[in-house]
Homo-oligomer: A and B are copies of this chain.
Amino acid sequence: MSDFRPDDRLARDSDLLTKIGLCELRLMKDSRWPWLVLVPQRPDVSEIFDLTPLDQTMLTFETTLVAEALKSVTGATKINTGALGNIVRQLHVHVIARSEGDPNWPGPVWGFGTAEPRSAEETKAFSAKLLDAMTP
Contacts and interface: CB of A to CB of B under 8 A. Distances in A.
Contacts of A46: 78
Given A48-B63, A49-B67, A56-B60, A106 B82 contact: no
A2 interface: no
A121 to B, nearest CB: 29
Interface stretch (A7-15, A22-30, A84-92, A127-135): A84-92
Question: Chain A: interface secondary structure?
Answer: mixed
Interface in A37-52: 46-49
A80 B71 contact: no
A122 interface: no
B47 A67 contact: yes
A68 interface: yes
Contact of A106 (B71, B78, B86, B108): B86
Given A57-B57, A82-B82, 9 more contacts: A46-B78, A47-B78, A48-B79, A53-B61, A78-B84, A78-B86, A82-B84, A106-B111, A108-B110
Interface of A: 46-49, 53, 56-57, 59-61, 63-64, 67-68, 71, 77-87, 89, 98, 105-108, 110-111
14 contacts: A46-B78, A47-B71, A48-B63, A48-B64, A49-B71, A56-B61, A56-B64, A59-B60, A60-B60, A77-B86, A78-B89, A82-B82, A82-B84, A86-B106
